[in-house]
């Protein structure tokens, strides 16, 4: 490049602009407005429903395609980055096709529905000499990386345990919003949809990252045991608790539910020999050592965390050293979810189930009685919840 020659803006494509795709589309538009990328191509499978977005995209000289195959063939060798904010069943096949077309990828979490698919994605990225960034947005939050550095440096002594609990009520319509919600298999491939593999997957993955022995590693879960409960009429579970131990001996406890009347924002507690760290979603991150608070950082809203993710992914196009959540990190989450389904049956949740109205949610929630108390007690005691 000659001195003074303007830097070419990366050309970006997006597969899908509805549902969660709206979030990626908005992020892309923000980076376009900042002059940092060109949104060059988009897949729109429902142009009638997205007529206004179609109009705006065409006005911005963005090429529109009806299928992802058409876009990848039409833009082969022409796009620097492909955004894939689609359902779990499509993550692997779309990522592999985008890599083959010469594109780097930002794929929504989780990495895939199976370890085999995830490993294939990691190998394809290496073979294509491209990167795959996974949309586990909290790993892109600077506070999370700062906390990991402090933990690795021994800020609370040796890390002994990582526990996570989150309760987000979801109405029955949540499980019928698409063809894979609440399903174990969809489109002929594993999806293993559940609170731990979808809505709360961010925090399970963050917990594994914080349990890793070095900054570049996540904890690999072993000795996995779980309790999986179903309240709604779905294939998978809507309440789950997992216990495990990492290769380095860190105890893990992850619990979450959608079949609850109470909302409890996600919280991660990291216990060490000399103190603990507490991560409270969209609130703060607190480090305590020898009985006193030694460090406190506010945590941004999820919308800002997603912007941190987009910033790092776009930066990675120019600077290979920029940290992104690559498949090797995300695979530990996929492996844990896969193992959970191997070791534990999905059972009917204990307690009488009934519909409850919650002011913040328009539809009644199908809840299992005392589910919140059962999970909180298990969280505090570091045990699997009891059905009795």
14 contacts 25 by C-beta, under 8 angstroms: yes
CA distance 158 to 206: 18
pLDDT tens profile 250-269: 999 999 999 999 999 999 99
| Fold type of domain 139-301+309-381 | Dihydrodipicolinate Reductase; domain 2 (3.30.360)
| Ramachandran class of 351: left when φ > 0, alpha when ψ lies in -120 to 50, beta otherwise | left
Q: Is the pLDDT of residue 1 over 50?
A: no
pLDDT tens profile 4-51: 555 689 999 999 999 999 999 999 999 999 999 999 999 999 999 999
Query: Is the whole model's pTM more than 0.75, yes or no?
Result: yes
Contacts of 271 (CB under 8 A, 6+ apart): 156, 159, 160, 161, 162, 163
Mean pLDDT of the chain: 96
Token pair recorded at residue 117: 């698919």
pLDDT tens profile 69-116: 999 999 999 999 999 999 999 999 999 999 999 999 999 999 999 999
Closest residue by Cα to residue 96 from 70, 116, 117: 117
Q: Residues 182, 187, 188, 191: is their CA dihedral positive or negative?
A: negative
Residue 387 to residues 11, 166, 208, 228, 234: CA-CA distances in angstroms? Answer: 53, 19, 27, 11, 20
364 contacts 260 by C-beta, under 8 angstroms: no
Token pair recorded at residue 285: 């991150």
Output the pLDDT for position 360: 82
Q: Is the pLDDT of residue 3 over 80?
A: no
Would you list the domain boundaries of the chain?
A: 11-137, 139-301+309-381
pLDDT tens profile 109-143: 999 999 999 999 999 999 999 999 999 999 999 99
Output the pLDDT for position 346: 98
Token pair recorded at residue 375: 């999970």
Residue 319 to residues 77, 131, 226, 312, 324: CA-CA distances in angstroms? Answer: 20, 12, 41, 10, 11
pLDDT tens profile 216-250: 999 999 999 999 999 999 999 999 999 999 999 99
pLDDT tens profile 168-209: 999 999 999 999 999 999 999 999 999 999 999 999 999 999
Q: Is the pLDDT of residue 2 over 60?
A: no
128 contacts 102 by C-beta, under 8 angstroms: yes
Q: Count of CB atoms within 10 A of residue 334's CB?
A: 27
Token pair recorded at residue 52: 């206004």
Largest Cα–Cα distance of the chain, in whole Å? Answer: 73
CA distance 108 to 205: 13
Output the pLDDT for position 6: 58
Output the pLDDT for position 362: 87
Taking residues 308-328, what's their average pLDDT? 97
Q: Is the pLDDT of residue 302 over 70?
A: yes
CATH superfamily of 11-137: NAD(P)-binding Rossmann-like Domain (3.40.50.720)
């Amino acid at each position: 490049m000659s001195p003074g020659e303007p830097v070419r803006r990366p050309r970006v494509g997006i597969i899908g602009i509805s549902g969660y795709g709206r979030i990626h589309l908005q992020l892309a538009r923000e980076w376009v407005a900042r002059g940092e990328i060109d949104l060059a191509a988009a897949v729109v499978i429902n142009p009638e429903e997205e007529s206004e977005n179609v109009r705006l995209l065409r006005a911005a000289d963005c090429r529109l395609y009806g299928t992802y195959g058409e876009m990848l063939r039409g833009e082969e060798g022409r796009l620097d980055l492909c955004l894939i904010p689609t359902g779990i069943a499509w993550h692997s096949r779309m990522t592999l096709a985008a890599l083959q077309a010469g594109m780097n990828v930002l794929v929504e979490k989780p990495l895939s529905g199976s370890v085999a698919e995830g490993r294939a994605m990691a190998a394809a990225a290496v073979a294509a000499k491209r990167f795959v960034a996974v949309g586990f947005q909290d790993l892109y939050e600077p506070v999370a990386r700062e906390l990991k550095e402090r933990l690795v440096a021994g800020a609370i002594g040796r890390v002994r345990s990582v526990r996570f609990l989150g309760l987000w009520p979801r109405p029955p319509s949540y499980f019928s919003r698409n063809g894979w919600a609440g399903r174990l298999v969809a489109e002929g491939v594993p999806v293993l949809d559940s609170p731990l593999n979808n809505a709360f997957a961010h925090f399970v993955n963050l917990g594994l990252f914080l349990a890793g022995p070095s900054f570049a590693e996540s904890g690999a879960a072993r000795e996995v045991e779980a309790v999986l409960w179903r309240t709604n009429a779905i294939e998978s579970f809507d309440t789950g608790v997992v216990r495990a131990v990492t290769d380095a001996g860190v105890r893990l406890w992850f619990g979450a539910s959608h079949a609850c009347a109470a909302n409890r924002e996600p919280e991660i507690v990291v216990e060490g020999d000399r103190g603990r760290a507490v991560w409270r979603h969209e609130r703060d991150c607190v480090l305590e050592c020898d009985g006193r608070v030694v460090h406190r950082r506010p945590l941004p809203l999820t919308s800002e965390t997603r912007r941190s993710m987009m910033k790092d992914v776009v930066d990675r196009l120019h600077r290979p050293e920029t940290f992104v959540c690559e498949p090797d990190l995300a695979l530990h989450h996929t492996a844990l979810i896969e193992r959970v389904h191997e070791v534990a049956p999905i059972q009917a949740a204990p307690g009488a189930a009934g519909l409850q109205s919650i002011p913040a949610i328009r539809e009644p929630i199908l809840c299992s009685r005392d589910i919140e108390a059962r999970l909180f007690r298990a969280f505090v005691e570091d045990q699997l919840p009891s059905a009795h």
